[in-house]
Structure 1
Amino acid sequence: MRELRRTGDSPEQPPATGQFASRRNLLLGTAAAGAALLATGCTSNETKDESDSGKQPAGAPGDKPGKKVTIGFAGPQADHGWLNAINEEGRRRAKAYEDVTLVSTEGSNDTAQQIGQIETLINKKVDVLVILPADGKALTGVGLKAMRAGIPVVNLDRVFNSPQAYRCWIGGDNYGMGLNAGRYIGERLKGKKNAKVVELAGMDSLELTQERTRGFDDALKNYPNIRKVARQAAEFTVESGQKKMAELLQAQPKFDALWNHDDDQGVGAERAIKQAGRDEFVMVGGAGSRHSMDVIKADNTVLKATVLYPPTMAASAIDLARALGQGKGVGGLAEQEIPASLTLYSAVVTKENVDQYLPTGFN
């Protein structure tokens, strides 16, 4: 199923706004700051004594090992740059801890197969589970099964259908992606009369795509001089990005800005733009690939920014799982327990700040 194979792509995205806002009760300032908060954080619930005064951030070379924790990691099939980065970030973070043993599944986009893989981890009696479900609704039952077996679950990005199926959710903000893309474009074009923008969206059947578009449209409402004149939905692939971008370029002889939802399909969009010889507009990408960041830094194409959907969330999920297994909270917060949910911020990467985010760019 194509819709289960792309950036943060689940019909069951955890709501970021409105009636469900309380389920995303902690907003981290930037993707890097989000990881840093957790990294400095899996601190003990016990009162510090002198022996703890020099404690280094979790995952740093000087971090003191604690109780040994076995974490089961059930991630996606790595058939997309972002999904591959999720798996790599999780494995890399686990290796940073002497007290963590990571037991990973092969990764699957087939719900039945992934359920079987998670049940195997439950039978192995791992201490904590980190799960990025192929389909949050379909895998809710196995999340509930793990929780009932006394194995806390860190639900990564694609949310289960019931909050009882996980102890903590951590993921990106699709509405925020659209909102910040719109704000960036709005500020670039606020002095231009009758500015026109176009949108290269993801798959329209997905709630994440709808949320990104809604955020984008809401941002543009604050710029009465800007009008969105066209929108095409692609499929988060290079091929679809090239095809749909070519159609947009043919239909719109001139416009001022383009927002593309996904950097992988953006590679195809860039090809179509180059083939058409067009350069009268600015392009904003989505997700934060290394390719996009390199192009932004070079500053020699229409691509001027990308809005993050950070795969570092997988590393932070390992931090949270370790904290759960050791009965700790998160550093920088007063509470003795980790939060129920963490929403990562969709930072806008531009030429001015790209060096800061280059280490998080995925291939």
Structure 2
Amino acid sequence: MNTKIRFASLALSLLLTSGAVLADVKIGVSMSQFDDTWLTYLRESMDQKAKSLPDGVKLQFEDARSDVVKQLSQVENFISQKVDAIVVNPVDTAATRKITEAAVKAGIPLVYVNRRPDDLNLPKGVVTVASDDLEAGKMQMQYLAEKMAGKGDIVILLGDLANNSTANRTKGVKEVLKQYPGIKVEQEQTGVWLRDKGMTLVNDWLTQGRKFDAVVANNDEMAIGAAMALKQAGVEKGSVLIAGVDGTPDGLRAVQKGDLAISVFQDAKGQADGSIDTAVKMIKREPVEPAVWIPYRLITPQNVDQFK
């Protein structure tokens, strides 16, 4: 009888170790900031994904409030709580090394979501789920360049400068511009992803008498702010082309109304599902790709209804 019990215990131990059975899984999630519009959709989608899983996955969300030190502290707290995995939407993509080192040392799976760390050589046990921001910038600018017939002036509304999403989206824009020497960048400044900042910047440029044919914004919120500033200044809708990124509900409505010429759809649900699925696979010790890429898609007035 004792022998049977020992064998049963061994079988159960092996089953649990292999990750075939999960129960009461807890994943700590540190978001760079809760009050970012697109990141709110990402967070809500992650929560929905976790609730849909049969394994009893629970997420503990924390708001880093755009503070690198606070985010590292949150990760250290997750480790002390012995969570099963950690998901991080980094505040600063250049400041993730300590987070990575802490998770790896603790042997806890780590998934970076939406923003890929600047360090591309991440160790085993660390995975990124994101979209290729370079492609988003290229899609925006290629569409605008063709609409502008290859000539004119543009202004660029940059996101948070601590983010490689900002750098890569802008790099994508400028790579396309190399093919169109007739298009010049009149101004570029950061609106730190915010609608009111985008509005203020464009309003300032208009007040200064600056002329431009298009606004290229690193996200929808700043693009919508630009549209509001142009409307307030009495500029005819559509005479200045405006492009955003994200395809948020507000962004989609703005494209439908003609306030934005285009947006580029960043799949919040795709990234959310990918991050939670990947974390669960890592907990179960199943094989995962070191980088999971969720594709961008161009949103135009002709196809906007497909994204609702």
**TM-score bracket, shorter-length normalisation:** 0.7 to 0.9
Gaps of 5+ in 1: 1-64, 329-336, 359-363
Matches of 2:232 and 2:77, distance apart in 1: 50
- Is 1:318 matched with 2:276? yes
Matches of 2:133 and 2:300, distance apart in 1: 19
Gaps of 5+ in 2: 1-19
Does the C-alpha gap of structure 1 residues 220 and 108 become closer, same or farther in structure 2, counting only changes over 3 Å? same
Aligned to 1:240: 197
Matches of 1:74 and 1:174, distance apart in 2: 21
Does the C-alpha gap of structure 1 residues 77 and 98 become closer, same or farther in structure 2, counting only changes over 3 Å? same
Q: TM-score, normalised by structure 1?
A: 0.69
Mapping 1:71-90, distance limit 5 Å:
71-90=27-46
Instruction: Tell me the secondary structure at the aligned position of residue 98 of structure 1.
Output: coil
Matches of 1:139 and 1:342, distance apart in 2: 18
Higher normalized contact order (CA 8 Å, seq sep 6+, divided by chain length) = 1
Aligned residues: percent identity?
27
Matches of 1:100 and 1:135, distance apart in 2: 31
Mapping 1:36-47, distance limit 5 Å:
none
The answer to whether the 8 Å contact 1:87/1:314 transfers is yes
Does the C-alpha gap of structure 1 residues 252 and 176 become closer, same or farther in structure 2, counting only changes over 3 Å? farther
Aligned to 1:107: 63
CA-CA distance at 1:222 after TM superposition: 2.1
The answer to whether the 8 Å contact 2:214/2:242 transfers is yes
Mapping 1:54-65, distance limit 5 Å:
none
CA-CA distance at 1:252 after TM superposition: 5.5
How many residues are matched?
282
Aligned to 1:256: 213
Matches of 2:89 and 2:162, distance apart in 1: 20
CA-CA distance at 1:305 after TM superposition: 0.8
Q: 1:149 aligns with which of 98, 101, 106?
A: 106
Q: 1:222 aligns with which of 171, 179, 196?
A: 179
Matches of 1:271 and 1:67, distance apart in 2: 50
CA-CA distance at 1:207 after TM superposition: 4.2
CA-CA distance at 1:66 after TM superposition: 5.8
Instruction: Tell me the secondary structure at the aligned position of residue 261 of structure 2.
Output: strand
**Structure number, greater radius of gyration:** 2
CA-CA distance at 1:186 after TM superposition: 1.8
The answer to whether the 8 Å contact 1:140/1:165 transfers is no
- Is 1:168 matched with 2:127? yes
CA-CA distance at 1:320 after TM superposition: 0.9
Q: 1:343 aligns with which of 293, 296, 303?
A: 293
Does the C-alpha gap of structure 1 residues 76 and 211 become closer, same or farther in structure 2, counting only changes over 3 Å? closer
Mapping 1:1-363, distance limit 5 Å:
67-68=22-23, 69-109=25-65, 110-156=67-113, 157-159=115-117, 161=119, 163-164=122-123, 166-190=125-149, 194-204=151-161, 206-251=163-208, 254-279=211-236, 280-299=239-258, 301=259, 303-312=260-269, 313-328=271-286, 337-358=287-308
Matches of 2:168 and 2:94, distance apart in 1: 18
Matches of 1:203 and 1:138, distance apart in 2: 14
Matches of 2:214 and 2:68, distance apart in 1: 39
The answer to whether the 8 Å contact 1:307/1:348 transfers is yes
Instruction: Tell me the secondary structure at the aligned position of residue 154 of structure 1.
Output: strand
The answer to whether the 8 Å contact 2:47/2:59 transfers is no
Give CA-to-partner distance per residue, 1:131-190, whole Å, 9 cap, x none: 223334544324322223222111222527461285211123232221111111122233
Aligned-pair RMSD on alpha carbons? 2.6
CA-CA distance at 1:273 after TM superposition: 0.6
The answer to whether the 8 Å contact 2:92/2:162 transfers is no
CA-CA distance at 1:346 after TM superposition: 2.8
Does the C-alpha gap of structure 1 residues 232 and 122 become closer, same or farther in structure 2, counting only changes over 3 Å? closer
